[in-house]
Structure 1
């Protein structure tokens, strides 16, 4: 099927999406104007910046962002210590109603948070539901600022608190209920199960990862520095994708509810990985902050091309396709040995990185002779470190049937 004929329409529980891409709750959804612009660009949905009761004072500090970049200013990791929405509840109820009227084919989810009293969560949930929100996302996972006030991740780290809060809000609303999970726990499943058993229709994972971005070695100020001081913040960006993929796959394997994948999604490939790991849709925030909401065009086009190339009829056929391949370490096959081999010798620049890596982090199986890489097959243990550090892709791993020790003794490795 040509990509141009392929629809990206998909489902998220009872909700229908034009494509699997939603803006996550955060700075890109801090106003109705931003959400409208995103919808005009092609986003299928958005989650409002977290709405709190008007009795909660929200005062952001400056600066409140810090980043880890590569040498070309490409984003690797991002920290924020920004709080919930500074806009009041009447603003949001008005905007939710107006956006729903203007974009009836898009999904608008209200993210909410309140102090520890479940009654305040119930009141706020009812208010945004009555305004027209398609679903409600409970933010029990913000890792900075809000836990000091007895809310956010201080709730999400305890299954019993998640259960009681979810149960309370479930009694107050009829729209789909989403619980957004924190990665700051030892095991995600007890918290996730508590949410589902108490009435959550869907789960969103992950919120940002608790972190300290760094220390300025000249001033010895922690980052981001607010008049010389800082606090622990929420880590996002490409570096957290492996954590998000792990948690989403665990949810998809064990629980019968849709999962929204969040964390490190910067391109269509990242989204496709989340969907293959079991996500029904994905939410994007940091990449939009870094590159603008217009990235949706390439995301939609890239995912369409990929699905067409793989002969998938739609997003649903990709969902969960990798789950059967994820299991325990004990279940992994020891019947195939992968050895390092020279795949493209003409590309080798004799940089020596593979030699150093194998000598000090591997099995001393690689050397340079006449400025050419030589691999001692009898020493190679198949760890793949050399192929990871090779900047030119010269070294590749080649699989052989049998265990490494057997193949070494038989002399059957090249």
Structure 2
């Protein structure tokens, strides 16, 4: 099969597949670059908070498990909100949905920067998650739909925005956080205002064909119906399990690293840079040579080993620092591989596939941070990493046991 067996793509791209495969990833409409720019700023929000977790803990007299709820509320709201993103964007249109998401992020991050109570801050991070859900799900389907270079390259572009945002975020968070823990929250709000203006200016109107698709209103039940496709559920549950490891590393490692805001900023800058570079340059090569599922399993297995090392040598600072940075390379590869797999998994609208997958994925991201903090309270600082490793290994076993349901993703045209 040289192209995706998808109703909306077969007719539109059947004759253009060879052209798309040769189109440079940089040759994109300005609407794609506007979303790319806004995406970088949106994803800054994740890493921006990381270097200030300890500062928030001290200033608000909050425990590690309370502070990690800043990730839990964010991911929990995002998981549930993902189910309505398709329904909302099909009624509002892609551009309005993106702008609404950016506006909500700006408002809630600004309010977070002005709050004085840990529980208020946790609640406001939930509102931030709602904005991010509207933006993230719509941005992925918008970039894939509007890109001139096909699905695979469009996803690489999307993952590059994630990687750049996640890598620059901690550096900015460390710098602003060293002045005040409020700085990163207010910084995100300011950057989101810039993204809002950029999207209005650089994305004046979508192609009329894409606006017409907005008339086909998506039902709120569509993501649930999408889960009848076993392939989509397999990728979603795999991501849910591996996110236990991902968010244990992201939310809990700052508490055992023994670094200040600047130091944490630089460590997570290194993590994010490797994540960005591998997602763009290395993942496509792994996919071509070994296939999506085999490459994913290898990356996740290595990530599980990294978490085991962090669990054993939790008290050795350099081991934790090196492990966190190296994990960025593994996670960058895996993120691109699994996102590409999801987009090719089932013959349904990409936005619906993204919503169903993201709902399952972020459930793991919601439980893991709080669970990691609690495990440290109940036992010791080693246990969160070892439990995270066990969940990542479970994700490898799960996808291997269900490999027959997802092996087809490598036979669907990599050009779109």
Q: Which TM-score band applies after superposition, normalised by the shorter structure?
A: under 0.3
Query: What is the TM-score with the length of structure 1 in the denominator?
Result: 0.25
Look at both structures and tell me which one has the larger radius of gyration over its CA atoms.
1
Give the structure, 1 or 2, with the largest relative contact order (CA under 8 Å, sep 6 or more).
2
Which is richer in strand?
A: 1
